[in-house]
Amino acid sequence: MSPKTQPLIYAELLSNIRQISVIVALDAPCGPGTKAELSADGRQFMLHRDGDTSTLDLPGQAVLVQLQKPVPGNKELSWRIPIAGQATRASIEDAQRNEAPWSAKELSEDAEFACRNCAAIILRKGTIKVWKDLPSENWAEMMEFWHCHKPDVPAEEANGSNGHGHVHHDQTAASKGYGASSKFIASKSTGLVDLTTFLLTSNDCTNTEITKPATEKPASVLCRACHRNIGRDDPQADGIRLFKWSLTLLSSRSPSFNNPSLASLLSSQCLASSHATAVSKFVLSPSDVLSGTSSTPYSPSCAKSSSSSCNVSSERTAGATSLIGPSTLSVSTPGPMLVWVLNSALHFRSGTSLSSSWPVTSSNVAMKVFWKSISTDDARSLLDGGSAEELILPDEIVVEIGGILRDSAVCLPPSARKFKEWDVGLLERYQPSS
């Protein structure tokens, strides 16, 4: 007699309608003795079936109500349960917050990084004296907009150099260092941090080498020990950008902090781009596929600084967010992938673990997305029409993201894994320790 298969129980918090959705997928039709109930504190869902009880911690506290008895013969059961209490400002702000692993405030002079693939030291302890977060994508544009539309200044303060009491806003913005034409320049012993990369001088790093591609794509930064692609050259910033997903932080902190997942980094990048552009669809483009079809690759951190402690150069960049470096892995070049963000901060629980670094016992917060592979022509059409933003990624990273999204579906009930021509997946969201 084969052992019983445990039911898959999945619950997600529907904060906009103040409910918790619970779906149970069974391996066989339920019988008349199947029933569900809540724990006394409203924090657990319990399913009783054939003498066994399965329990799942809920993603929020539920109102104690009697749950409807399942209809015998069904293999998938569902409930909508009211949430206890009212929404608070703190909970709303928490849902809108976007933090990525390894921000400047989480790093110190003692930070030491190694190649995640082979453990060769890439950045030695004590090399970086100061870590600084780079501004968001739309920071400079917002500053220019404010300067252009700010209230009139008093006449006695408006005596400009042109003899008419007026200084053009572009000149003033540039002089203050926050024009859209401004960007950061790497400097010795300073680590500049954006959502997915570190901008450093090449001399501050060790065990790295830059390989020039035959095409006009940015040169890749390789680990000298294992020849893994760990970043890209950024000549406009006089430095190199190291991918966070290619590094390991050598510290005594938790493994999930020392090795942040690719999913948590990508979800932070998508959310930041969504906030900046009000677009919820993203074309993940392998570095080779749409070459020459978009504007000069734009790095969200390039940019936009009014800090006197950083070197600033005036050279305009625009176009797609680029995280590329030529692929060095033996993978067939993938096609573009379209990702549509449905819920940027989904609180959920599942009876199935997504990965060892994201166990079911943790407080699961994810970005819920629809996704599908698309043709190059469809990608160009979406980008030209302005209905999607482009994220240019190394080929092997696009392949890995596809695998992450496919694997994430195992925690969803079968009926929730597809919607028409779309696949449904989850991307881990980074939750800093309090």
Residue 298 DSSP class: B
Residue 281's CB is within 10 A of a number of other CB atoms, namely 16
Strands of 250-334 (E only): list them: 281-286, 311-314, 321-322
Distance CA 176, CA 150 (A): 15
Which pTM does this prediction carry?
Answer: 0.80
Render each residue's pLDDT in the chain as its tens digit; 434 residues.
456 678 999 999 998 899 999 999 999 999 999 999 999 999 999 999 988 999 999 999 999 999 999 999 999 999 999 999 887 666 666 667 788 999 999 999 999 999 999 999 999 999 999 999 998 655 545 555 555 555 665 555 555 545 454 444 444 444 444 444 557 899 999 999 999 999 999 999 999 999 887 666 778 999 999 999 999 999 999 999 999 999 999 998 888 889 999 999 999 999 999 988 889 999 999 875 555 433 333 333 333 333 333 333 333 234 455 555 444 434 456 799 999 999 999 999 998 766 555 555 455 899 999 999 999 999 999 999 999 999 999 899 999 999 999 999 999 999 999 999 999 999 999 988 75
Q: Using CA atoms of 285, 291, 296, 299 in order, give the dihedral in degrees to the nearest 10.
A: 30
Tokens of 318: 């625009």
Tokens of 229: 């692609």
Q: What are the chain's domains?
A: 8-87 (2.60.40.790), 104-138+184-428 (2.170.150.10)
Distance CA 312, CA 209 (A): 26
- Helices (DSSP H) in 193-293: which residue ranges? 255-258, 262-277
Specify whether the CB–CB gap between 230 and 247 falls below 8 A. yes
From 235, 185, 183, select the one nearest 210 (Cα to Cα).
235
82: enclosing H helix or E strand: strand 76-82
Length of the chain: 434
Burial 167-195 (b: 16+ CB within 10 A, else e): eebeebbbeebbbbbbbbbbbeebbbbbb
Question: 95: which residues sit within 8 A by CB, 6+ positions away?
Answer: 15, 344, 345
Tokens of 195: 């959502």
Classify 344 as helix, strand or coil.
strand
From 201, 203, 197, 177, select the one nearest 187 (Cα to Cα).
201
